[in-house]
Chain A
Amino acid sequence: MTRVVIAKVWEIPPGGRKIVVPFRGRAGIGVFNVNGRLYALRNICPHKRGPLCTGELTGQIAADAPPSAYDSDLKVNGEGEVLRCPWHQWPFEIATGRCLVDPEVRVKTYPVRIDGNDIVVDLDD
């Protein structure tokens, strides 16, 4: 296990992110602060290798029924918890790396923790 310091804690406030490119010879990593919890994702989209972590933050857009039915509310659930790849707009749940439009697709996640004032990612060697 290799300990890599990504940032100081104050560098990534809630809603913020830090991207390190390249990351130890790899495609890059993005560390996100979502409502006070930190997550780390590989900065490469499993769809077409776009720079995923540079994408827009959004929520899960939901509707219980078509707009012609009784409930026409369009909801934005979990605002800031979803990352949209800038290439082709596929949405990913930051907390899990799960792609919301294709259950077969997932972006690699890394364990991330706070150690003193450091945000640290532990890498498999």
Chain B
Amino acid sequence: MTKLGAAPISAPGWTAQPKEGVKIVDCDVHHNFERPEQLLPYLSRFWQNHLIDQGLHLPSAGYSNVPYRTNRSDLKDPGLKERDFNFTLEFMQREHLDPWNIDFALLTGPPPFYGYTGLPDPDWAAALCRAFNDWTIEHWLEKDERVVNAILISPSDPAQAVSEINRLADRPDTAAIMVPMGTSMPFGNRFYHPIWEACEEHGLPVIAHIGGGGGAARTTPTPVGFPTYYMESRMSRPFVASTHASSLICEGVFEKFPNLKFALTEAQQLWAVAVMWHMDSDWKAIRDQTPWLKRLPSEYFREHIRVGSQPMHEAETTEQLYQFLDMLHADETLVYCSDFPHFDWNDPVTTFPKLAPETQQRIFADNALEMLRIGDALR
């Protein structure tokens, strides 16, 4: 079939704009392998046999998505099989990095793969992360300096996660670590602290993307069980994110690791305002239970926690959206995420109403540059 004129219509006027410095850092760009067998060269002999015999066998909650495996249907390409997307850097360059003039794109891997957080065997999960990271290095990172990596780690075995961070931390294209939000314990739990310690030591922020569980690979996506439909499962995301955020604050993670930054992505944003407001009022009443917190919870939030901009709320009025960005302290907390190539992606042009230039620069570039470990020479 012929390609159906897939070039983004909004893009040409956008890319024609002259610019100085870094204008767009996209903190959520999904790349993917075409076949699991592509990971074979990066697995040990034992795990190669395992993959050949068993496949990936990643757990999933079984929710449907939209047609075309969650992807934008305008990205169908005659050079690929009809349902294949984004398996090559060339595709990502042509369809996303070039037309939208993306300065840096943080690779976050394929969400179905995030099911590794729900694997009962932590060694298989860790082996998959290592293999995926090495495949990413060879096929994506070494070919385009706009592409930087959020290295995948498995939270189910912190010791192996730390080893993986130490193994790859010195690479200049390692900008962050990536962990799916679907876990069996919230991220503030001391079980995970060795991972956060390693991140802080290397100056790497944590990107926690919805998926794995929260998509229910390991636990129910809500505290009240399994909803029936995909849309309901999406509505549960803010609760997953707010649970992780309040856990990180209450357990004193940011007292213990004062330079750690932690982003929660693809879980909407309104929850963040609720967490800041509600925690501040509760803190005044019941701080005695967490006396190691020296500051208002919202102060920890604004200094350490970042919120992905996708999927951005579509408020009833533009004025409401401006108010919401103000309540969120978006100029400190919000980082632009496109979620390319998914159907619910947010393009750089129409996602927000016209912003003040300083706010635009904060949301689309500076908040991310201050969080990610991107070499100063590249800025």
**Contact (Cβ within 8 A) A54 B74:** yes
Interface residues of A in 9-64 (CB under 8 A from B): 17, 19, 21, 27-28, 43-44, 48-51, 53-56
Is B4 an interface position by the 8 A CB rule? yes
Give Cα A53–Cα B5 distance, bound, in whole angstroms.
Answer: 9
Given known pairs A54-B73, A55-B73, A56-B73, the reply for A87 and B347 (CB within 8 Å) is: yes
Is B132 an interface position by the 8 A CB rule? no
**Contact (Cβ within 8 A) B72 A53:** no
Is B349 an interface position by the 8 A CB rule? yes
Q: How extensive is the interface on chain B, given as a class? A: 20 to 34
By a CB distance below 8 angstroms, the chain B residues around A88 are 343-344
Interface residues of B in 3-32 (CB under 8 A from A): 4-10
Given known pairs A84-B73, A86-B75, A87-B72, the reply for A51 and B343 (CB within 8 Å) is: no
Is B317 an interface position by the 8 A CB rule? no
Is A77 an interface position by the 8 A CB rule? no
Give Cα A10–Cα B4 distance, bound, in whole angstroms.
Answer: 18
Min CB gap A73→B, angstroms: 17
Q: Which residues of B contact A (CB under 8 A)?
A: 4-10, 66-68, 72-75, 343-345, 347, 349-351
By a CB distance below 8 angstroms, the chain B residues around A43 are 5, 9
Known: A21-B5, A56-B68. 17 other contacts (CB 8 A): A19-B4, A19-B5, A28-B9, A44-B9, A48-B347, A49-B10, A49-B349, A50-B9, A51-B6, A51-B9, A53-B5, A54-B73, A55-B74, A84-B73, A86-B72, A87-B72, A89-B343
Give Cα A21–Cα B73 distance, bound, in whole angstroms.
Answer: 17
Given known pairs A49-B10, A54-B74, A56-B73, the reply for A86 and B5 (CB within 8 Å) is: no
By a CB distance below 8 angstroms, the chain A residues around B349 are 49
Q: Which residues of A contact B (CB under 8 A)?
A: 17, 19, 21, 27-28, 43-44, 48-51, 53-56, 84, 86-89
List 20 interface pairs A-B (beta carbons < 8 Å), by A numbering: A17-B4, A19-B5, A21-B9, A28-B5, A49-B10, A49-B349, A49-B350, A50-B8, A50-B9, A51-B5, A51-B6, A51-B7, A53-B4, A54-B6, A55-B74, A56-B68, A86-B73, A86-B74, A87-B347, A88-B343
Min CB gap A81→B, angstroms: 17
By a CB distance below 8 angstroms, the chain A residues around B72 are 86-87
**Contact (Cβ within 8 A) B66 A87:** no
Among residues of A, the one whose C-beta sits closest to the C-beta of B66 is: A89
By a CB distance below 8 angstroms, the chain B residues around A53 are 4-5
Min CB gap A88→B, angstroms: 6
By a CB distance below 8 angstroms, the chain A residues around B6 are 51, 54
By a CB distance below 8 angstroms, the chain A residues around B7 are 21, 51
